[in-house]
């Protein structure tokens, strides 16, 4: 989910800025009684109907309205995240709902225009009468709407991209976002004793904020780092790949922070040019963690590309949560207008996890479902076992929110992404991580994440 | 400033891209000479041909067969446009003729956006068996695909020059470039000659589309507007000289790519074709008045 780009050519002004971002996720409730997913372990067969408390019983009560705003534009689309959340909610509605109430989910798409995004928030609150916001994933939405949500008492459960998704009191993400996921990728490269790092990312709003993390880690390790930025969508991939390899050198690492399409374009260009082995390793933030990318790249990248994975690797995990995720994706996310186009991967895992947390919180509400009760429930989620993250997930009343700050590293292995390194804390050398841990501490491990 | 060693791989990519720009630039020049039309839809036609090829490969069709389908599609669409709209616009100003091809571009662009949507994170790529294979020259890897890119550009340039000079059809095209009316009165089958030019240009668009889809990106927007680089080369050659078009295309490709390793200029590399074309046209215009009208030139 990191950036993607635009390329402009005369005549028509096409340009798209595009965004990016990484997302991570984890967490689950300290009260894993409600929905089927809430981080269960074991390997028994799980059906999608296990998503609800009453399998096979359709919810017919008064709807609980929830909403989401996602970027969906040429070159950058985070729609899969909201679509997967929608699949989860649809599953819950078909299997008992929330105490008999179905969830009605409103998805607004935007094209990185602040006025449009502000209008979307207003539409959701004033017109659609949503009680909570779940699944937001946008390049600039957190920056635009943060104060609006605060004014209206909303505590957002989202996939973060913009800095405000992490640095404010009323947004908690399941992912780490582009900066901290890039930290993870750079951290892994440093652990492999590379002599130089080239950090290349999509030239979208927030690039300096994102680059600050990797630069801090490289500086602490006394390793030179070169920062590059490409206008998305990447249309000169050959040149980009050559430039990265030239700058990194034979013992260096190239770390990419792009959306999957752009990252794949660059990696394929390197492959076509035969320069994959001209550097010691390639790295990538979370967006590259998709089987689609592993399948597209082929065996040449096995143990050559290392991807930061903010969520439990789906190919190497057979927990009940992962089985439920796969079942819901298959039964509710594989067709229709909200088809999860990317299939298994970080984006759909994030949508699943956000919906899972929301359903868990909603099921704990006693009394009427109102903006106040729903958002109090969201904010009150503590040490929830999502089954998708290294750590238990907590919202809490903190001034900033980085509930997911421990992750995996995966590598392609014959068309699948497999674990190269297990749960590892992102370094507190990044001052943002240090500040959050000082306030919230280090969350316990999620025992259900790996089955 | 990067070292000479850092520039070397960009020279290779520049030459390869320049070769592809040259072959589509040659197509533009020949078509303009024969019909008076600046074919702005060339990139879109090639892009759609490449996307069709991609879809057929994904459906299990042999790659070589899909490449053939791409060329047939590009040739057929271009020929159909020429046969339908060519006569209708024959008496109109060159600017009108060029603008009309923008209509075809927009139609194709819309269809591609509909059938091969770029939203939802879709990624497509086209690869050739020659990718990743090649040889080293010093510290630089050169792939066979890059060699093909340049070689096809050279071959098309030489072949087209020979065709125009030594064949009856080529002679007819050159005659039409000088004066369409007189050529017609001399008994030359003008429509047939124009059809050949449209078909040839369409096939070149297909070849360029396939090569650029592999060397740059399989993306409708990217490929559609890469025609600008070829057009810049053709304009530098004043839409007349095939050899000069080839040279200009190589220069455009080289400059565009060699700006990349220079940190201060890398963001401006995509401007190179326009800047070069603008400078060339300004220099030319100091010596004579430029006109877009083939008949007046």
Task: State pLDDT tens for residues B279-296.
Answer: 887 887 766 555 555 544
CB atoms within 10 A of CB A122: 14
Same domain, A172 and A203: no
For residue A65, give the CATH number of its domain.
3.40.50.2300
Average pLDDT over residues A155-167: 93
User: Last residue of a domain, which of A282, A309, A336?
Assistant: A309
Same domain, A159 and A190: no
pLDDT in the model for residue A341: 85
Residues in chain A with CB shorter than 8 Å from the CB of B145 are 272
Q: How many domains does chain B have?
A: 1
pLDDT at A18 over 70: no
pLDDT at B44 over 90: yes
CA distance B263 to chain A (A): 9
Contact of B131 with chain A, judged by CB distance below 8 Å, is answered with: yes
Same domain, A56 and A149: yes
pLDDT in the model for residue A71: 93
Residues in chain B with CB shorter than 8 Å from the CB of A342 are 120-121
Instruction: Specify if A337 maps to a domain.
Output: yes
Strand ranges inside chain B, DSSP E: 134-137, 140-143
Which range has highest mean pLDDT (A126-140, A233-247, B158-172)?
Answer: A126-140
Task: State pLDDT tens for residues A342-385.
Answer: 888 888 999 999 999 999 999 999 999 999 999 999 999 999 99
Nearest by CB to B13, from A74, A235, A238: name it: A238
pLDDT in the model for residue B173: 86
Instruction: Specify if A188 maps to a domain.
Output: yes
Average pLDDT over residues B47-52: 96
Residue of B nearest to A4 (CA): B121
Contact of B269 with chain A, judged by CB distance below 8 Å, is answered with: yes
pLDDT in the model for residue A87: 97
Average pLDDT over residues A79-85: 96
Average pLDDT over residues B171-179: 81
pLDDT in the model for residue B288: 56
pLDDT in the model for residue B125: 84
Contact of B214 with chain A, judged by CB distance below 8 Å, is answered with: yes
Best A273, A277, A291, A301 residue to mutate vs chain B (most B CBs within 10 Å): A273
Same domain, A236 and A283: yes
Stronger pLDDT, B264 or A281, i.e. the higher one:
A281
Same domain, A281 and A338: no
User: Last residue of a domain, which of A263, A294, A309?
Assistant: A309
A398 contacts: CB under 8 Å, gap ≥ 6: A169, A436, A439, A440
Same domain, A200 and A298: yes
Stronger pLDDT, A153 or A36, i.e. the higher one:
A153
- The answer to whether residues B239 and B177 touch, using CB atoms and an 8 Å cutoff, is no
Same domain, A110 and A187: no
Same domain, A340 and A291: no
Contact of B129 with chain A, judged by CB distance below 8 Å, is answered with: no
Instruction: Specify if B140 maps to a domain.
Output: yes
Q: Which H or E element spans position A301?
A: none
Q: Look-up: residue for tokens 């020949």?
A: B30
Instruction: Specify if B248 maps to a domain.
Output: no
pLDDT in the model for residue A451: 55
Residue A236 is part of which domain span?
Answer: 178-309
Instruction: Specify if B209 maps to a domain.
Output: yes
Instruction: Specify if B235 maps to a domain.
Output: no
pLDDT in the model for residue B289: 53
Residues in chain B with CB shorter than 8 Å from the CB of A11 are 225, 228
| pLDDT band for position A13 (cuts 50, 70, 90) | very low
- The answer to whether residues A65 and A128 touch, using CB atoms and an 8 Å cutoff, is yes
Stronger pLDDT, A69 or B7, i.e. the higher one:
A69
Q: How many domains does chain A have?
A: 2
**For residue B287, is the peptide bond before it cis, meaning its omega torsion is within 30 degrees of 0?**
no
pLDDT at A30 over 80: no
pLDDT at A5 over 70: no
Residues in chain B with CB shorter than 8 Å from the CB of A273 are 9, 132, 141, 143
Residue of A nearest to B263 (CA): A228
CA distance B168 to chain A (A): 38
Residue B119: exposure state from Cβ atoms within 10 A (0-12, 13-18, ≥19): middle
Same domain, A73 and A142: yes
Which range has highest mean pLDDT (A64-78, A84-98, B118-132, B183-197)?
Answer: A84-98
Residue B155 is part of which domain span?
Answer: 23-227
Q: Which of B118, B47, B10, B55 is nearest to A5 (CA)?
A: B118
Residues in chain A with CB shorter than 8 Å from the CB of B13 are 238-239, 242
Task: State pLDDT tens for residues A271-282.
Answer: 999 899 999 999
Residues in chain A with CB shorter than 8 Å from the CB of B134 are 274
Distances (CA, A) of A76 to A204, A265, B150: 11, 14, 33
Instruction: Specify if B42 maps to a domain.
Output: yes
Residues in chain A with CB shorter than 8 Å from the CB of B266 are 243
**In chain B, pLDDT over 70 holds for what percent of residues?**
94
Instruction: Specify if A26 maps to a domain.
Output: no
Would the CA dihedral through A332, A335, A337, A343 be positive or negative?
positive
pLDDT in the model for residue A16: 31
Instruction: Specify if B124 maps to a domain.
Output: yes
Contact of B125 with chain A, judged by CB distance below 8 Å, is answered with: yes
Average pLDDT over residues A315-333: 92
Same domain, A90 and A239: no
Average pLDDT over residues A409-422: 90
Task: State pLDDT tens for residues A180-201.
Answer: 999 999 999 999 999 999 999 9
Contact of B274 with chain A, judged by CB distance below 8 Å, is answered with: yes
Flag if B270 and A7 touch (Cβ within 8 Å): yes
The β-bridge relationship of strands A305-309 and A281-284 is parallel
pLDDT at B117 over 80: no
A interface toward B at CB cutoff 8 Å? 7-12, 14, 72-77, 79-80, 231, 233-240, 242-243, 246, 259-261, 264-265, 268, 271-275, 278, 292, 296, 300, 341-342, 347
Q: How far apart are CA A7 and CA B225, in angstroms?
A: 10
Flag if A273 and B141 touch (Cβ within 8 Å): yes
- The answer to whether residues B49 and B74 touch, using CB atoms and an 8 Å cutoff, is yes
Average pLDDT of chain B is: 88
Residues in chain A with CB shorter than 8 Å from the CB of B133 are 274
Instruction: Specify if B238 maps to a domain.
Output: no
CA distance B101 to chain A (A): 13
pLDDT at A29 over 60: no
Instruction: Specify if B144 maps to a domain.
Output: yes
Residue of B nearest to A237 (CA): B216
Flag if A235 and B6 touch (Cβ within 8 Å): no
Instruction: Specify if A305 maps to a domain.
Output: yes
**In chain A, pLDDT over 90 holds for what percent of residues?**
71
Same domain, A257 and A167: no
Distances (CA, A) of B35 to A8, A227, B175, B239, B271: 30, 50, 11, 12, 29
Instruction: Specify if A425 maps to a domain.
Output: no
Flag if B123 and A260 touch (Cβ within 8 Å): yes
Same domain, A202 and A275: yes
End-to-end alpha-carbon separation of chain A, Å? 27
Flag if B120 and A231 touch (Cβ within 8 Å): no
Least confident of A11-15, A241-245, B124-128: A11-15
Instruction: Specify if A6 maps to a domain.
Output: no
CA distance A335 to chain B (A): 14
Flag if A239 and B269 touch (Cβ within 8 Å): yes
> Model-level pTM?
0.77
Least confident of A197-206, A400-409, A420-429, B177-186: B177-186
Q: How far apart are CA A5 and CA A74, in angstroms?
A: 8
Average pLDDT of chain A is: 87
């Amino acid at each position: 989910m990191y950036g993607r780009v635009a390329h402009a050519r005369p005549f028509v002004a096409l340009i798209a800025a595009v965004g990016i971002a990484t997302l991570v996720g984890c967490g689950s409730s300290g009260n894993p009684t409600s929905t089927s997913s809430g981080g269960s372990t074991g390997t028994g067969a799980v059906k999608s109907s296990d998503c609800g408390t009453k399998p096979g019983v359709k919810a017919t009560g008064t709807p609980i309205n929830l909403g989401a705003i996602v970027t969906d534009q040429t070159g950058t689309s985070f729609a899969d995240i909201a679509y997967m959340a929608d699949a989860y909610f649809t599953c819950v509605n078909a299997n008992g709902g929330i105490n008999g109430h179905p969830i009605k989910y409103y998805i607004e798409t935007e094209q990185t225009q602040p006025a449009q995004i502000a209008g979307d928030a207003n539409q959701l609150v004033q017109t659609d009468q949503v009680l909570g916001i779940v699944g937001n994933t946008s390049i600039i939405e957190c920056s635009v709407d943060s104060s609006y949500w605060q004014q209206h008492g909303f505590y957002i459960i989202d996939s973060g991209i913009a800095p405000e998704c992490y640095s404010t009191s009323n947004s908690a993400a399941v992912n780490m976002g582009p900066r901290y996921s890039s930290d993870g990728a750079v951290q892994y490269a440093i652990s492999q004793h590379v002599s130089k790092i080239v950090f290349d990312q999509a030239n979208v709003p927030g690039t300096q904020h994102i680059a600050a993390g990797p630069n801090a880690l490289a500086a602490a390790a006394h390793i030179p780092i070169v920062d590059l930025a490409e206008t998305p969508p990447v249309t000169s991939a050959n040149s980009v790949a050559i430039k990265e390899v030239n700058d990194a050198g034979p013992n260096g690492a190239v770390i990419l922070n792009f959306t999957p399409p752009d990252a794949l374009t660059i990696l394929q260009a390197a492959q076509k040019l035969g320069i994959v082995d001209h550097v010691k390793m390639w790295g990538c933030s979370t967006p590259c963690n998709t089987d689609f990318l592993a399948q597209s790249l082929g065996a040449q990248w096995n143990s050559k590309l290392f991807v930061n994975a903010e969520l439990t690797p789906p190919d190497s995990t057979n927990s009940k949560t992962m089985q439920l995720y796969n079942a819901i994706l298959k039964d509710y996310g594989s067709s229709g207008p909200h088809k999860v186009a990317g299939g298994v991967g970080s984006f759909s895992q994030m949508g699943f996890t956000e919906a899972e947390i929301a359903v868990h919180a909603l099921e704990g509400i006693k009394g009427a479902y109102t903006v106040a009760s729903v958002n109090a429930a969201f904010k009150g989620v503590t040490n929830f076992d999502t089954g998708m993250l290294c750590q238990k997930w907590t919202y809490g009343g903190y001034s900033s929110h980085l509930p997911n700050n421990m992750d995996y590293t995966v590598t392609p292995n014959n068309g699948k992404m497999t674990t190269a390194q297990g749960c590892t804390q992102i370094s507190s050398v990044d001052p943002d991580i240090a500040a959050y841990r000082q306030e919230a501490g280090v969350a316990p491990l999620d025992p259900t994440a790996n089955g | 400033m990067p070292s000479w060693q850092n520039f070397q791989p960009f020279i290779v990519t520049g030459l390869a891209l320049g070769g592809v720009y040259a072959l589509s630039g040659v197509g533009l020049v020949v078509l303009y000479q024969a019909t008076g039309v600046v074919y702005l839809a060339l990139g879109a036609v090639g892009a759609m041909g490449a996307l069709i090829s991609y879809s057929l490969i994904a459906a299990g069709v042999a790659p070589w067969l899909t490449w053939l389908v791409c060329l047939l599609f590009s040739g057929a669409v271009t020929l159909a446009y020429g046969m339908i709209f060519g006569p209708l616009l024959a008496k109109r100003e060159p600017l009108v003729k060029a603008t009309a091809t923008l209509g075809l571009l927009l139609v194709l662009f819309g269809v591609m956006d509909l059938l091969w949507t770029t939203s939802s994170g879709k990624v497509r790529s086209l690869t050739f068996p020659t990718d990743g294979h090649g040889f080293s020259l010093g510290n630089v890897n050169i792939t066979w695909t890059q060699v093909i890119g340049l070689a096809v550009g050279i071959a098309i340039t030489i072949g087209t020059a020979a065709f125009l000079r030594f064949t009856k059809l080529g002679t007819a095209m050159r005659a039409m470039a000088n004066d369409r009316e007189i050529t017609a009165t001399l008994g030359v089958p003008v429509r047939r000659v124009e059809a050949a030019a449209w078909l040839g240009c369409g096939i070149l668009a297909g070849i360029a589309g396939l090569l650029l889809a592999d060397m740059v990106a399989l993306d409708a927007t990217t490929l559609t507007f890469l025609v600008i680089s070829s057009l810049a080369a053709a304009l530098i050659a004043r839409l007349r000289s095939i050899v000069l078009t080839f040279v200009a295309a190589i220069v455009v490709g080289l400059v565009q790519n060699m700006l990349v390793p220079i940190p201060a200029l890398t963001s401006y590399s995509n401007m190179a074709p326009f800047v070069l074309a603008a400078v060339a046209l300004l220099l030319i215009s100091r010596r004579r008045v430029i006109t877009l009208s083939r008949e007046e030139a």
